[in-house]
Amino acid sequence: MLRRYRPYLGYLKPVRVVLVSAIAAGIIQGVTSGAGLPLMVKYVFPRIFTAERTALSAWQIFAVVMWLPIVFTVRGAAGYASSYLFQVAGVRILEALRLDYFRKLQVLPLSFIQRQTTGDLISRGLADANQLQATMVALASDGMKQPATLLSALGYVIYLASKEKSTALMVVCLAVVPLCVFPVRYVGRKLVKRAHQMQTQMGSVTNSLAENLSAAKEVRAFGLEERQVRAFAAETGALIRVQLKVAKYYQALTPAIEVISAFGIAVVFVYAYHAGVQLTPFLTIITALYMSYEPVKKLGALNSDIKRGEAALTRLETVFNEPVTIRDPAKPAAVGRLQGDISFSDVEFAYKPQEPVLRAVTVDIPAGTVCALVGPSGAGKTTFANMVPRFFDVDSGTVSIDSLDVRAMRLADLRRNIALVSQDPVLFNDTVYNNLLLGRLDATRDQVMAAAVDAHADEFIRAFPQGYDTVVGERGTRLSGGQKQRLAVARAFLRGAPILILDEATSALDSQSEQMIQDALRKLVVGKTVIIIAHRFSTIRDATMILVFDQGSIVARGNHAQLYASNPLYQSLYDRQRAGAT
């Protein structure tokens, strides 16, 4: 069982000094609990409650009665130090765990990210990571402290029983302890399945909440508030039911062990009555036995925590163990600024087996070409464009730039030569300036502002009260669509890359914003190799090459006049859109 946690014990290494100190303090706490209290019963009680008390001086009485506060002071101080230090270690472990999880998400293929729900990925990085951290800390803490308490208590029972010649009593006492294993194992088996269900349902709840917040405008526009509340209530209701099942088994463990312990002690009472055991040794053994049951309960709870940690670990390993298929080559080619000659040679690609998205695609796009991709929805246009920056790797064939396979380049070198302006540009919840700076992190402030001027964004930026230091809100919610798009174009200006990919940058804008962005794009595309994913034919009037896609294949290529005269698909798409515009 613990073997599964072995690969993750490396998270303990950076905090090993803190952990060793915490474990040492925990062992001290365990020993003072397991042996200190039974010793008090043996040596303090007789001097207070028997005839021995008449022989004690005032200083001796003081020394005897101080045993209890000394034991509890040492026990309390050690317990506090142990708990606090374990919390310090736990926070550090959680930080490292979440950082590694986030780092892994940055390099996983887009195909993996697209297969998951956002809320579930968030839940894995937050709730599951938190559960794994709690399990590892509990394992390091109670895995050392509770055995120390148990062994010291049982060790003292053995010592006392042998000294008092009460071997049979010792056997009876110790025979009860293994019985506690049965409820521990039963609860552990039940918790594995329930804990996994709980973590999965937590991901569903998180996704439901994230999805609702991202669609706040649509929810209100279509009057879906009550529907969304009912859907969220159903998700949280399912979560509560699973949580209660987990609580049912988890909380049943302690009473079960206590009941078994009570029956064991009752048996000891019967034996003590018939054997004529004296009160002092009897109380000493009972105290030591009682102190052994407490760590047994906590070890049982630790077993339950481990089962819950296993469920969290299983979900985290979905991300940690996912292979990184798009990575830098072992010996990358030296790449500076590319010219921009793009070539596809017999490229095949499918998101799912037996469902090809690109079929034997072969085409050369010379440097400086403005190439528009046209075709029905799902024809493969966006996938074609995504192959250039290596967002996906081909299943067969090659994609090359300047006669160099993109898989032979470092990803950073390749993508530094590509600028992207998407249909729905993403802005981070940061200032306008910092969002523009993403285009080139080493740019000066003057360069950033010059890019904004070229994109016709400088005027509206300066109109904000804080100008370039205005926070744009999550995903740019405080800006209009045209303003967001112009910031995205400004980023492309700032990047100055020789290859530009435009995913219909003006399709959802008003006429004034569209005109301003079209003017900016005419300047932006000069001297660059441009791939335009065209949803509106009005955007391809400046294209020098048009590729017509259908069912994953390039079925025609040429300029507008050539394609309109020779290709029925292109002609029908063009006529249908022109009719819709009028």
Q: Which CATH number fits the domain that encloses residue 165?
A: 1.20.1560.10
> Are residues 105 and 161 both part of a single domain?
yes
Cα–Cα distance measured from residue 119 to residue 203, given in angstroms and rounded to the nearest whole number? 6
Residue 315 tokens read as 């979900």
In a domain, 518, yes or no: yes
In a domain, 356, yes or no: yes
Question: Which pLDDT score, from 0 to 100, does residue 138 have?
Answer: 74
> Are residues 128 and 275 both part of a single domain?
yes
> Are residues 495 and 394 both part of a single domain?
yes
> Are residues 255 and 300 both part of a single domain?
yes
| Interior/surface letters 334-363, b for 16+ CB within 10 angstroms, e for the rest | ebeebebbbbbbebebeeeeeebbbeebee
Cα–Cα distance measured from residue 298 to residue 409, given in angstroms and rounded to the nearest whole number? 55
> Are residues 547 and 478 both part of a single domain?
yes
> Are residues 304 and 396 both part of a single domain?
no
pLDDT band for position 574 (50/70/90)? confident
User: Three-state SS for 363?
Assistant: strand
Query: Is residue 435 pLDDT above 50, yes or no?
Result: yes
Q: What is the mean pLDDT of residues 121-148?
A: 76
Tell me the HSE value of 566 on the side-chain side, using a 13 A CA sphere: 11
> Are residues 459 and 346 both part of a single domain?
yes
Question: Which pLDDT score, from 0 to 100, does residue 76 have?
Answer: 79
Query: CA-CA distances (angstroms) from residue 408 to 98, 391, 398, 404, 580?
Result: 31, 14, 11, 7, 45
Cβ count within 10 A of residue 84 = 13
> Are residues 258 and 158 both part of a single domain?
yes
In a domain, 577, yes or no: yes
- Spell out the long-range contacts of 247-250 with Cβ–Cβ below 8 A and sequence spacing 24 or more: 249/187, 249/190, 249/191, 249/194, 249/304, 250/187, 250/191, 250/301, 250/304
Question: Which pLDDT score, from 0 to 100, does residue 510 have?
Answer: 60
Q: List the domain range (segments joined by +) for residue 545.
A: 342-581
Q: What is the mean pLDDT of residues 117-131?
A: 82
Query: Is residue 351 pLDDT above 70, yes or no?
Result: yes
pLDDT band for position 63 (50/70/90)? low
Question: Which pLDDT score, from 0 to 100, does residue 2 have?
Answer: 56
Question: Which pLDDT score, from 0 to 100, does residue 365 have?
Answer: 94
Question: Which pLDDT score, from 0 to 100, does residue 191 have?
Answer: 67
Domain holding 540: CATH number?
Answer: 3.40.50.300
pLDDT band for position 35 (50/70/90)? low
DSSP letter assigned to residue 333: P
Query: Is residue 505 pLDDT above 80, yes or no?
Result: no
> Who wins on pLDDT, 59 or 167?
59
Question: Which pLDDT score, from 0 to 100, does residue 167 have?
Answer: 45
Question: Which pLDDT score, from 0 to 100, does residue 385 have?
Answer: 92
Cα–Cα distance measured from residue 386 to residue 422, given in angstroms and rounded to the nearest whole number? 12
Question: Which pLDDT score, from 0 to 100, does residue 36 have?
Answer: 61
Is the Cβ–Cβ distance between 461 and 380 less than 8 Å? no
Query: Is residue 364 pLDDT above 80, yes or no?
Result: yes
Is the Cβ–Cβ distance between 63 and 105 less than 8 Å? no
* 0.75 surpassed by pTM: no
Query: CA-CA distances (angstroms) from residue 55 to 46, 278, 505?
Result: 12, 21, 98
> Are residues 170 and 130 both part of a single domain?
yes
DSSP letter assigned to residue 464: S
Residue carrying structure tokens 């309960």: 297
DSSP codes of every residue in 157-205: HHHHHHHTT-HHHHHHHHHHGGGGHHHHHHHHHHHHHHHHHHHHHHHHH
Give pLDDT tens digits for 86-109.
Answer: 878 877 887 888 888 888 888 888
In a domain, 336, yes or no: no
How far is Cα of residue 83 from the mean position of the Cα atoms in its chain? Answer: 26
> Are residues 154 and 30 both part of a single domain?
yes
CA nearest neighbour of 35 among 89, 74, 88: 74
Is the Cβ–Cβ distance between 494 and 421 less than 8 Å? no
CA nearest neighbour of 481 among 517, 524, 448, 449: 517
**Residue where one domain finishes, among candidates 272, 287, 320:** 320
pLDDT band for position 54 (50/70/90)? low
The segment with the largest mean pLDDT, out of 186-195, 293-302, 490-499, is 490-499
Cβ count within 10 A of residue 139 = 18
Give pLDDT tens digits for 248-288.
Answer: 776 676 677 667 767 776 776 777 667 666 666 666 676 66
Question: Which pLDDT score, from 0 to 100, does residue 450 have?
Answer: 92
In a domain, 334, yes or no: no
> Who wins on pLDDT, 114 or 453?
453
| Interior/surface letters 401-439, b for 16+ CB within 10 angstroms, e for the rest | beebebbebebebbbbbbbbbebebebeeebbbbbbbbb
> Are residues 204 and 238 both part of a single domain?
yes
CA dihedral sign of residues 474, 475, 476, 477: negative
In a domain, 327, yes or no: no
Query: Is residue 402 pLDDT above 90, yes or no?
Result: yes
Give pLDDT tens digits for 306-332.
Answer: 777 777 888 888 888 888 888 899 899
In which element (H, E) is residue 346 found? strand 342-352
In a domain, 266, yes or no: yes
Query: Is residue 473 pLDDT above 50, yes or no?
Result: yes
Query: Is residue 171 pLDDT above 60, yes or no?
Result: no
Cβ count within 10 A of residue 9 = 12
Query: Is residue 302 pLDDT above 90, yes or no?
Result: no
Number of domains observed in the structure of the chain: 2
Query: Is residue 541 pLDDT above 80, yes or no?
Result: no
> Are residues 107 and 16 both part of a single domain?
yes
pLDDT band for position 187 (50/70/90)? low
Query: Is residue 24 pLDDT above 80, yes or no?
Result: yes
The segment with the largest mean pLDDT, out of 62-66, 279-283, 370-374, is 370-374
In a domain, 328, yes or no: no
Q: What is the amino acid identity at position 233?
A: A
Residue 93 tokens read as 């472990």
Query: Is residue 489 pLDDT above 80, yes or no?
Result: yes
